[in-house]
Amino acid sequence: MRLRVSPYPRPVNALVAMGGILVGIYWGWVATLGLLQLAQGQPPTDWFPPQTYACWYAAWWIGALAGLLPTPKQAWIAAACGSGLAAALGSLLSEWLTGLGTGAVIFVVGLSVLSAGCIGLSGCWFTSGVRGMAGVASGLTAKIRLARLAGSGQRHKLLEAVARRLTGMALAIGGPKRSWRAEEFLADLTRHGTDGDSPGGWAQLRHAAGLIRGSLRLRVGDACAPLWRLADWALAKPRTERIATLTVMTAVYFWCSSGFSGLMQQLVNVAAVASVIAPALWLRREREIPPVQRRTGNVTSEASTDDVVGPSCTEQATRQDPKPKTASK
Amino acid sequence: MSASKIRLTTPTRLVLDVLMSAGDTPAWGYRICEIARLGSGTVYPILERLEEAGWIEGAWEIDQPGDRPRRRFYTLTGTGRAGYAAAVAAHRQRNPWRVEPRRGLA
């Protein structure tokens, strides 16, 4: 049975395309501002001289043109290489003219390559995203008209179609790691033959919206897993106490060595440390992080990371795709 | 903290309640949402976490129905039962005054 969750390729591309447009508008604005300053012969009011803005502008156009290439990979490579060269050339020119500094040149080139790569990618996504959105919009418009003409039966079909597309979007948001859940999601969405009842259109829509929410939560969890791992490592007793003690001692040192103004300044730091410690201890209790385990023997070492990290990060880190087993039920 | 340890939030406990009381009745995603009275956006992340921690086991339906895709059935593993019992005991020890009804498939 072929699963078809959506007739359009990756509807989430539309959202990414919108992000790309926003990034493009921002960089275009920055570059235009710099060019205007250059044209008026004014000294640059920002961090970089006008030549740098000119390079950014060129990089932006290179990225936008690279977005026309057929595949995202080609677009990214073309945008990154082209705009990187343009930015490098312009920044070296700026260095020669104004003594911009090597660090700033590296920063500008890196930023240009990154932004042009983003724009190049979003250029491709823009094409498919607009096409997908237009298709969805026209399809839904036609179906809404049909539903109005035909009554509740068509309305049910319309809601089911929307719910299916939302389910497809949830799968896209969930990422390739969870694509194997497509069959499960669709089975739970349609649930035909369950106790002889047929799900209502609005119920399916609610279920599909929940799937999107769940996929978003899972992706956020994926993204935050390294941070949780780090937090759990730092929160294991007695690391938190050591870090806090070190910070307080440093604050006291600066307090003692900087006079009254340093005292007032460091008092704020001590208060900041104190305000962090209480939530940290609460988090330790909440995530049930055990103390650092020490091995007996001559060599004293801390427990392995897997022993001290919390459940969510370990779960994320050791995530394995459940193999599609079959049940006898 | 070992990988098999799960924080027992209220939604997680409700999902585990449903699975504990399932017995021979197969529990699948939507059914769990319906009985636990939780949204799909809450239940599926919990199921994924539990499955990764080894508390539950998912398996596809053997027979291929003609009119719909296959369902995925979830059952508690031995680790899950033991972990759930320990977590519930710890929870009750911390909150002895809280008595909440269990929701099940029966």
Tell me if B71 and A212 make a contact (CB, 8 A cut-off). Answer: no
pLDDT at B44: 93
* pLDDT tens-digit series, residues B90-102: 777 766 665 555 5
The residue segments making up the domain with residue A136 are 1-141
Shortest alpha-carbon distance between residue A15 and chain B (Å): 20
Residue A327 pairs in a beta bridge with B61
Shortest alpha-carbon distance between residue A21 and chain B (Å): 30
In chain A, which among 80-139 make CB contacts under 8 A with chain B?
none
pLDDT at B24: 76
**Rounded mean pLDDT of B27-53?**
90
Domain ranges for chain B: 10-88
Whether A9 and A120 share a structural domain = yes
Report if residue A329 sits inside a domain. Answer: no
pLDDT at A138: 54
Domains contained in chain A, number: 2
- Contact of A289 with chain B, judged by CB distance below 8 Å, is answered with yes
Extract the residue ranges of chain A whose pLDDT is less than 70: 1-155, 192-198, 247, 250-255, 257-278, 293-329
Residue whose C-alpha is closest to residue A302's, from A291, A313, A318: A291
| CA A237/CA A145 separation, integer angstroms | 64
Banded model confidence at residue B48, pLDDT cuts 50, 70, 90:
very high
The sign of the dihedral angle between the CA atoms of A19, A24, A30, A33 is negative
Whether A5 and A130 share a structural domain = yes
Contact at 8 Å (CB) between B75 and B50?
A: no
Whether A134 and A244 share a structural domain = no
Banded model confidence at residue B74, pLDDT cuts 50, 70, 90:
very high
| CA A49/CA B39 separation, integer angstroms | 54
User: Domain boundary at A141, A168, A197, which?
Assistant: A141
Helix, strand, coil proportions of chain B in percent (round to 5)? Answer: 45, 10, 40
pLDDT at B8: 80
Beta-carbon-side half-sphere exposure of residue B67 (alpha carbons within 13 Å)? 6
Whether A137 and A3 share a structural domain = yes
**Rounded mean pLDDT of B39-54?**
91
Nearest CA in chain A to B42: A214
H-helix or E-strand containing A259?
helix A259-286
- Contact of A319 with chain B, judged by CB distance below 8 Å, is answered with yes
Residue whose C-alpha is closest to residue A45's, from A54, A55, A37, A57: A37
Phi first, then psi, for residue A320 (nearest 5°) are -130, 145
Report if residue A35 sits inside a domain. Answer: yes
Report if residue A175 sits inside a domain. Answer: no
pLDDT at B47: 93
Dihedral, CA of residue A266, residue A271, residue A276 and residue A279, to nearest 10: 170
Higher pLDDT, B13 or A125: B13
Q: What is the pTM of this model?
A: 0.51
Q: Which residues of A51-76 are buried (b: 16+ CB within 10 A; e: fewer)?
A: bbbbbbbbbbbbbbbbbebeebeebb
* pLDDT tens-digit series, residues A139-155: 555 555 555 555 556 66
* CATH number among 1.10.10.60, 3.50.50.60, 1.10.10.10, 3.40.190.180, domain B10-88: 1.10.10.10
Whether A45 and A137 share a structural domain = yes
* pLDDT tens-digit series, residues A145-204: 555 555 556 667 777 888 888 888 888 888 788 888 888 888 888 875 555 566 777 888
Report if residue A219 sits inside a domain. Answer: no
Record the tokens describing residue B13, joined without a space: 């406990």
Tell me if B60 and A311 make a contact (CB, 8 A cut-off). Answer: no
**C-alpha R_g of chain B:** 14
Phi first, then psi, for residue A326 (nearest 5°) are -115, 145
pLDDT at A329: 41
CA distances from A197 to A179, A194, A286, B35, B66 (A): 28, 6, 42, 16, 17
Banded model confidence at residue B4, pLDDT cuts 50, 70, 90:
very low
Report if residue A199 sits inside a domain. Answer: no
Shortest alpha-carbon distance between residue B98 and chain A (Å): 18
Whether A248 and A130 share a structural domain = no
Tell me if B42 and A288 make a contact (CB, 8 A cut-off). Answer: no
Whether A12 and A123 share a structural domain = yes
Report if residue A197 sits inside a domain. Answer: no
Tell me if B58 and A314 make a contact (CB, 8 A cut-off). Answer: no
- How far the first Cα of chain A sits from its last, in Å, is 20
Q: Cβ atoms within 10 A of the Cβ of A166, count?
A: 22
pLDDT at A306: 35
Whether A237 and A131 share a structural domain = no
On chain B, the residues whose CB falls within 8 A of the CB of A194 are: 30-31
Report if residue A106 sits inside a domain. Answer: yes
On chain B, the residues whose CB falls within 8 A of the CB of A307 are: 1-2
pLDDT at A219: 87
* ipTM associated with this complex: 0.82
Instruction: Mention every residue, 6+ apart, whose C-beta is less than 8 A from residue A302.
Output: A292, A293, A294, A308
pLDDT at A304: 37
Nearest CA in chain A to B48: A218
| CA A190/CA B68 separation, integer angstroms | 7
Report if residue A37 sits inside a domain. Answer: yes
Tell me, what amino acid is at A80?
A
Record the tokens describing residue B84, joined without a space: 């759930």
| CA A113/CA A59 separation, integer angstroms | 8
User: Domain boundary at A97, A119, A141, which?
Assistant: A141
Cis previous bond, A322, omega within 30:
no
